[in-house]
Amino acid sequence: MFISLEGIDGSGKSTQARLLAERLRDRGHEVVLTREPGGSDGAEAIRRLLVEGDPDRWSAETEILLFNAARRDHLERTIRPALERGAWVVTDRFADSTRVYQGATRGELRGLVDRLHELVIGREPDRTIVIDMDPAAALKRGLARGSGEDRFEEFGLGFQEKLRAGFLALARDFPERVRVVDGMADAEIVAARVAEAL
């Protein structure tokens, strides 16, 4: 079973991915807990190209290519082998993040995002949980964490609002696969909501 967690920065995805992996391990499953951009050696190297250095180094189109290159490597080297041996895969972000960050916020690029996904990825997670959060609260969590790595977090609240709307729209676009969970509660309560939704 292949599960992705999605949502805006600071919504609690990595916390929930970890709690879900623990819950599944307690039930005796082998779980591979992974993340994007990254999740394999090659994809982690591409991640560094994306999150370090001059933010204007890449055009929007090149950035989409890099996210897909990283995802292809992640899929080939980490996700597929795990699924083939019967493990569960829990990933902190997958293709929906590209749809929302690169596609939904720049509408004219959605065609490129979708065509490239079809061409080089060609599959979706079995289930996707969107952790929904008020962007102001999520931003506060991110600031509290003091993460300096992500240039992506430098965009303001207006951008985060667009992202939130983009993630909520996924549940309409993929009603069979995507469930939205309210992330505004203690982590353990949100974890129970995630398990319930799954």
Contact positions vs ligand TYD (CB under 6 A):
9, 13-14, 36-37, 67, 92-93, 97-98, 101-102, 150, 152-153
- The answer on whether 64 is annotated among ligand-binding residues is no
Q: Report the residue number, 99 or 116, with the smaller CB distance to ligand ADP.
A: 99
By a kind-dependent CB cut-off of 5 to 8 A, residue 26 interacts, out of ligand TYD, ligand ADP, none, with none
Q: Report the residue number, 29 or 57, with the smaller CB distance to ligand TYD.
A: 57
Dist CA 82 CA 161 (whole Å) = 35
Q: Report the residue number, 28 or 156, with the smaller CB distance to ligand TYD.
A: 156
Q: 60 to each of 67, 98, 173, how far by Cα in Å? A: 11, 11, 23
Q: Supply the minimum distance, in Å, between the C-beta of residue 61 and ligand ADP.
A: 26
Residue 32, C-beta contacts closer than 8 angstroms, at least 6 positions apart:
78, 79, 82, 87, 88, 89, 90
By a kind-dependent CB cut-off of 5 to 8 A, residue 151 interacts, out of ligand TYD, ligand ADP, none, with none
Dist CA 39 CA 110 (whole Å) = 24
